Structure formats: C-alpha cells, structure tokens
Copies of this chain bind each other. A is one copy, B any other.
C-alpha cells in the first residue's frame, strides 16, 4: 500500500467501497503493522471476511528506478497485487504508488494486450455534455504514430464497452482544427487513424475543445496530455479557491450563498479534481488503476469505483478479443 498516506487513507476508503459494492471483496497488500492497525481501526466485523490481508515488507522507494523495481521489488505490495490479477485471484489492481514503478511491474507481470506495444494512462474528464476519455496522460512522453494509433483504438474500444457508445468519436489533440495544422507526428497519426476501420476518427481537437464534448476519446502523447490535464486541474483549483473565498466573506455573502441552495458548493465539488481520481493503465492484460499519491479517502474511493467498473466489464478480455481478431484478420488477408 503506497501513496502519501498508505493504509490510513486506503483502508477506510476500501471499507466504504465494500459497503457500496456488496458483491466485491478485496485482497490488500502492505506492511503488517500499519495494515493490521488500519483494519482494526476502520473495518467492522461484518466486513472483515471480505478483506484478505497479505503482508510484505518489501517497499518501493521514491528513487527506485524501473529496472531496480523489476529486479528486486516484485514482492512489494504493488508487485503482489499485480500478480494476484495475473493469477486470476483478483479482477483489478489499484495502487497509489509510483506511476513508473506500476508501469514497469505491470509490463513484466501482466504483459500488454495483443498488438499493443506500451500501455497508456487513460482517465475520464467532465465535459459540458457528460464525460470523455483522454489518453495518454504521461506514461509515454514521446510516441510514434503507431503508438498513438494503438491508444486511439484502446480508448475507442473502452468507451464502447464502458459507456455503451457504439461509435465513439475519436479526435487527436492538436494546436488547430484545420488539416494543415500540427507537426509531422500529428499528421502521420491522422493518416493512420483515418485508415483504421475500427475507429470513428473525427479529426483534430484543440485544448479548449476537450471540455466541449466534441470527442468521446481524445488521443495525445503523454507530454501534452499531462500538461493539458494538470493545467485544467490548476484552473479548476484556482476557481474553486475563488468560490470558497467568496462564500466566507461576510454574513451577507454567506446568506446569499445559502439562498443559492448549495449550488455554489455543488459547483466547487464538480470542479474538485478528486472527483476524477483513478486512471487506467490501458493496454495491460489486466485491470490496473493508478490513484493520485496524495488522494484522500473520497478521491481513493473514486479510484476504487473506476477499477470495479472495468473489472465488472472484464475490460481486458473484451479488448483482447477485438485486438486479437484484428491481428488474425490482417494475417489472413
């Protein structure tokens, strides 16, 4: 159990989640003392049979390189949780630990889906229409057109399965909407996406278009995706702070705010990045969800929901069968 807070945030979030999802049970991996204490503090008797603790004293350090992690940290809580998914003992792995370690161990333990060279970090974000998926958010800082095209396919198939959208609109993040805009990577990727029969490619989207709901899936390299996501979170947090400020200025403004019937508070909570915590490592052959390291109970609860949703849909199997079908089809051509 990693992240900034470990079991004392994760266990209470898990307990809440198990109450919410009666059919779900959990394997938890972590340090014996901390984990046992958290379980004793937060889990009631009725829930304990649904929580199976596994203890380990192998800890991934902040400065462990991916190669160190692969070589000597497979018995860390992260490694054991991924192995449980690989063995079929668990339907999903959720971690608040280091992204690069999770990526490295995920690649070795779970491997990638057929035809996928690297997984992408994929999350949903709110739009004025509902929600959209964006990938990659930082796992692959430099991408080839073929990789971006794989991400597009992963995102599109995921949206079909989880959101029930038959033909998700896939767009490529760019600096303009016109076909002449963008660098060589973008233009070559656009050509690949146009030629891909499994994707409903709809052209470019600009940064502001992300939130207008003109795409169900936004595809980008990990550098620009990370920048877009964090810049958006930054604005949301700034505005949320302004609203908070406004609400406590004086009794008159507080009264005014009360007359808005909690709508300002609702606005603040809709802007709260914790709402959107939990990103898939999409393309691994097993559901793997990354929570923010600094997630609080509520935010970690969202990451659990994200993982449970994908596990219930057997997402990796669904993706795998389509991707394998595509490979078989291309081989018999």
Contact = CB atoms under 8 A, between A and B. Distances in A.
A130 interface: no
Stoichiometry, as copies per complex, reads 2
A253 B246 CA distance: 16
A318 interface: no
Interface in A50-66: none
Contact of A210 (B127, B212, B231, B261): B231
Interface in A203-260: 206-212, 220, 222-224, 226-239, 241-243, 246, 249, 252-253, 255-260
Contacts of A165: none
A267 interface: yes
A173 interface: yes
A204 to B, nearest CB: 12
Interface in A262-276: 263-264, 267, 270-271
A4 interface: no
A72 interface: no
Given A228-B207, A243-B267, A263-B253, A236 B234 contact: no
B141 A223 contact: no
B223 A175 contact: yes
Given A138-B175, A212-B234, A235-B239, 20 more contacts: A128-B241, A175-B222, A175-B226, A175-B227, A207-B226, A208-B231, A208-B237, A211-B237, A211-B238, A223-B224, A228-B228, A232-B232, A242-B267, A242-B270, A243-B267, A253-B259, A253-B260, A255-B259, A256-B260, A257-B260
A248 to B, nearest CB: 12
Contacts of A206: 226-227, 230
A208 to B, nearest CB: 3
A156 B229 CA distance: 26
B239 A236 contact: yes
A264 B239 contact: no
Contacts of A231: 207-208, 210-211, 227-229, 231-232
Contacts of A222: 175
A325 interface: no
A331 interface: no
15 contacts: A141-B175, A207-B231, A208-B230, A223-B224, A228-B231, A235-B236, A239-B239, A243-B267, A246-B263, A246-B264, A252-B261, A253-B260, A253-B261, A255-B256, A259-B259
A183 interface: yes
Contacts of A229: 207, 231
